[in-house]
Amino acid sequence: MAEHTLTHVDAPAHMFRGRPYIHEIPLERMVGHGVIIDVTEKVAVNVGYGVMVEDLLNWEAHFGKIPEGAVVIMKSGWYKKYPDPALVFGSEHWNNTETHKFPSWTIDAVEWLLSKRHVIALGVDTPSVDLRGLRALPVHDRLFRDSIIALEGVANLGAIPPCGSMIFIPPLKLYKGSGSPARIFATVPKVMHNDGHNEVEIALKDANHRFRSARMNGKIP
C-alpha cells in the first residue's frame, strides 16, 4: 500500500531532511480541537478556490477564537467526489498533474494559522493542501518547516460540526515513513434528551475514504 493514498497524513520529512518522519510524531500532535472551515459556496463558483484569511476571520466571528493546538480542515464538499479520479483531480486527464484543479489553501491563510493560532495540523477534503497550477508547494513547505502535519483526502465532513469536535489523526507508525494512511475520526458532542434533562454524550464520526483494491491504491497519489 502506498503511503500517500486517499485519506492520509503527510509528515514533515516528506520534503525536508531532519524534520520528523511519521513514526517520530507524538500522539499529542495527532489530536486537537476540530475547526472546520466551510467554503462550499465559494467553491461552487470557483473550483480552484483557495481558503483565505477572511474565511478564518469569518469562522471566528461565528464561533470564537481558534484554540491553540487546533486541527483546521477545509470543507469544500469535494470529499463527495471520491473515488472517481477524474472528479477528484478535476480533470479527465488526471494522469497529467498539470491539468488538475481542486480547492485548497492560500499560503496567506496558512501563514496566519501557524503564526497567530499555533495549529497542530492542517487538512483538506481534496487531494492536496496546495493548490495546483503553482510552480511550487508553498503550503507543504510552510507546514513542514514548522514540523506541522498535513491531512489530505479527509472525508465525511458533513458529519463534523464547524466547532466543538475533537479530531484524532492516528496514522500508522511507519518507520521512516514520509506519510501514512490514517483512520481519522472525530468525537462530537451529542445532546441527548433523557427524562426531561439534557445530557451530553459523545458520538464518533468517521472522516475516511475507504481504501479500495490495488487499482485505486496505485493510481491516486
4 binds its own copies per the rule CB under 8 A: no
173 binds its own copies per the rule CB under 8 A: yes
For 101-166, give the secondary structure using H, E and C.
Answer: CCCEECHHHHHHHHHHHCCCEEEECCCCCECCCCCCCHHHHHHHHCCCEEEECCCCHHHCCCCCCE
Residue in the block written with cell 445532546: 191
Query: Beta partners for 191?
Result: 200
Q: What sign has the CA pseudo-torsion 177, 6, 58, 141?
A: positive
206 binds its own copies per the rule CB under 8 A: yes
Residue of 84, 212, 218, 221 that binds its own copies (CB under 8 A): 212
205 binds its own copies per the rule CB under 8 A: yes
User: What residues from 14 to 53 belong to the interface with its own copies (CB under 8 A)?
Assistant: 23, 27-28, 31
CB 73, min distance to its own copies, A: 17
Q: Which is nearer to its own copies, 27 or 192 (CB)?
A: 27
172 binds its own copies per the rule CB under 8 A: yes
Of 145, 53, 45, 59, the residue nearest 107 (C-alpha): 53
Residues that bind its own copies (CB under 8 A): 1, 7, 23, 27-28, 31, 168, 170-175, 177, 181-183, 185, 204-206, 208-213
